[in-house]
Amino acid sequence: MILQTVVTGQHLTKDYGLTKSEIDRDRVMIAKEVDMSVAGDTSVAITKSVGHGIIGFADAFAELGPDIVVLLGDRFEILASATAALFQQIPIAHIHGGEVTVGAYDDSIRHSVTKMAFWHFVATNVYQKRVVQLGEDPERVFVVGGLGIDVICQTEIIQREELEKILDFSFGRRNLLVTYHPTTVSNKSVQEEITELLSALSRIENTSIVFTSPNLDKGSSEIREEIKHFCNRRPLTRKYFDSLGNTKYLSVMEISDAVVGNSSSGLLEAPTMKTSTVNIGGRQEGRIRADSVIDVPVDRTRIYEGISVALSGRFNDVVKNTVNPYGEGTATRSIVEKLRTVDVPETTAKRFWDLEKE
C-alpha cells in the first residue's frame, strides 16, 4: 500500500498559517498540491473555490491513479475532492462521518460525503448507527474512535518554559486557549458573535489568552481582524496565531485552564488533555460531548459565566475524572489495518441499506 498525499485549502494559504510546511516537517511526501483559493471569504468566493477544487482534484486523481481516496471530515475542500472521486469511480474511505453539527453547513457536507463514500470509519457507536440510517451497509461502517486522540498520544508535549520561548509569549497563573469559527448557519451576524465573545473575554482578569485562527469560511477575515485588534490592546496577556500546528496547539491546551470557542477540538481532544471546554453557540450542536464541556449560548454574560466556572476550580473534579467518548487513541491503527485488507470494488455502485427491509 503506497500513500499519496494531496494538499489543498488552508494548507496552501498564507493568511491561515501556510501549514503545508508542517507536512513537510513531518516528512510526509506531498504527491500533488491543489490550489483552490479564491480571493475573499464570501459565500460566492467559497462556492467558486469548491469549483476550482473539483477541477484540481479531477486532474490530480487522473494523474495519480489512486485505488482508494481517504477523506477526513466535513470541510468544503473535502466536498470538492469527494465529488471528483465520485465521478472518476474511485472508492472513498471517509473518516468521522455520522456526526452532527447543527450550526454549520459542514453538517450537510459531511452527510453528502457519506453518501459518496464506500467505507466509513466513525468515532462512536451512535455515529455508526447514523451512517447506517443514511442507507449505508453496516458491514462497511467501522467504529474506530476519534483521530484527534491518536494525535495526542503521538505528540511530545512542549514544556511551559520552552513553549514560552518558542511562542514569544508568557503564560499567566490562569490561561485560556480560544478558537472561534464562523457559524455558517446562524441568525446572528459574524460581527455580533465575535463581539459577544470578546466582550466576555474583556471581563476576565489576570488571565493570559492565546487565540488561533478561524477556519476559512464566510466571515472568517472579520473574526480574525477583530481578534487581532483585541490582542493589540493588551499584547502582554493576549496573542493571536495564524496556526500553532499540532504540537504547539496541544502544548498550549495542556497549559490552559479552558478551551473557549466553538472548535471541535474542545469536544474531541480537550477531554483527553483534562482541560475543560466552554463551547459557545450552536456550531457543535449535536456532537457527543464529555462531562468536561460547558455549553453556553452566544451571549456575553453567559459566556463570562461559563468561563468563570471553568476557572473557579469548582469544575476541577469533573474535568479530572471525565472520560472522552471518542476513544483511547487506536483509530489510526484500526483504519490502516482495515484498508490493508479490503477488496477494492470493480464499481462504486452501492445498494441503499433500507432499515425497514433489512
**Residue listed under C-alpha cell 484498508:** 339
Is the predicted pLDDT of residue 226 greater than 80, yes or no? yes
Domains of the chain in sequence order: 5-145+330-341 (3.40.50.2000), 156-321 (3.40.50.2000)
CA–CA distances in Å: residue 241 to residues 5, 130, 171, 225 = 26, 36, 15, 12
Amino acid at 253: M
pLDDT for residue 357? 66
Query: Quick check: 326 and 146 in contact, CB under 8 A?
Result: yes
Tens digit of pLDDT for each residue in 283-311? 999 999 999 999 999 999 999 999 999 99
Is the predicted pLDDT of residue 358 greater than 70, yes or no? no
Is the predicted pLDDT of residue 73 greater than 80, yes or no? yes
Coil, strand or helix: which one is 259? strand
Tens digit of pLDDT for each residue in 149-198? 999 999 999 999 999 999 999 999 999 999 999 887 777 889 999 999 99
Q: Region 197-214: what's the mean pLDDT? A: 96
CA–CA distances in Å: residue 249 to residues 141, 147, 170, 242, 339 = 31, 15, 15, 11, 29
Do the bridges between strand 92-95 and strand 293-296 make them parallel or antiparallel, or are there none, so unpaired?
unpaired
37: closest CA among 47, 49, 28? 49
Note the maximum CA span of the chain: 63
- Displacement of CA 124 from its chain's centroid (Å): 17
Is the predicted pLDDT of residue 19 greater than 80, yes or no? no
Q: What is the pTM of this model?
A: 0.90
CA–CA distances in Å: residue 73 to residues 76, 236, 313 = 10, 36, 34
CA dist 288 and 40 (Å) reads 33
